[in-house]
Amino acid sequence: MTETEYPGRVKRALFQHHPSAFLLAAQALLLILYVVFDEIHSGRALISALGVVVLMLVVWVVTHSPAVNWVAWVLAVPAFLLSMISALTPNATLLAWSALLEGILYFYAAGSMIAYMMEDTLVTVDELFAAGATFTLLAWGFAYLFMVVQIWSPGSFVSQLNSGQPLTFLEFLSLSFTNLSATGLSDVLPAAKMARVLVMLAQFTGVGYVAVVVSRLIGLTIQRTGRKRG
């Protein structure tokens, strides 16, 4: 087997197992691990770094583009290194930059997966998994941005349950999911201008994603089912 044949075989093998489903399962596993390690700084950084590695693999498989590899690694490598350094030597500035890079990376991956789902009119099983995985990518992306705002401007978010205490990443992730899904539990409130703007962007993104991407996939699926019955 030549060196050029091996990556191609690995790529085909990953596609056979629905990489979007793999990403969705990995994100669900991370949620469980956050419950265990959220209060442990080093554990949180390790989970974050592991999430970046998994995300890079899935982005590389789904998008079919060498350019995506280049952009993804430019974001992933420094984010990984900063996460590891901040885990060994706690530093708010390093953690903020790491979170910012990871947030951009998740948004970039979400955009790549949206382009993947919108490129044709055939809805595959992997695209259905991609619809759920993209939503989690957006949620993680906004959660990282929320955390950056808190680090750079303490007090930007206020928790109704732990008043005066900095919010954990899990709390930011919950805030992100509730705003993207338009649920709005109101246990965490944006107090500063930048925090309010980010929350509004999260709400707009969530509504737009459901209205444009998810509704399109549902419509195409219904059309395909109707043609089969006809």
In 3D, which of 153, 201, 149 has the Cα closest to residue 179? 201
Residue 155 pLDDT exceeds 80: yes
CA separation, residue 211 to residues 183, 204, 206, 216 (Å):
16, 10, 9, 8
Which pLDDT band, with edges at 50, 70 and 90, does 66 fall under?
Answer: very low
Q: Which domain holds residue 98?
A: 5-229
From CA 21, how far away is CA 129, in angstroms rounded?
Answer: 5
User: 27: phi > 0 → left, psi -120 to 50 → alpha, else beta; which?
Assistant: alpha
Q: What is the model's pLDDT at position 26?
A: 79
- What letter represents residue 24's amino acid? L
Q: What is the pTM of this model?
A: 0.82
Number of domains in the chain: 1
DSSP alpha helices (H): ranges in the chain? Answer: 5-16, 19-37, 41-63, 66-88, 92-118, 125-152, 169-180, 193-209, 215-229
More confident residue, 116 or 16: 116
The torsion angles phi and psi of 157, rounded to 5 degrees, stand at -125, 140
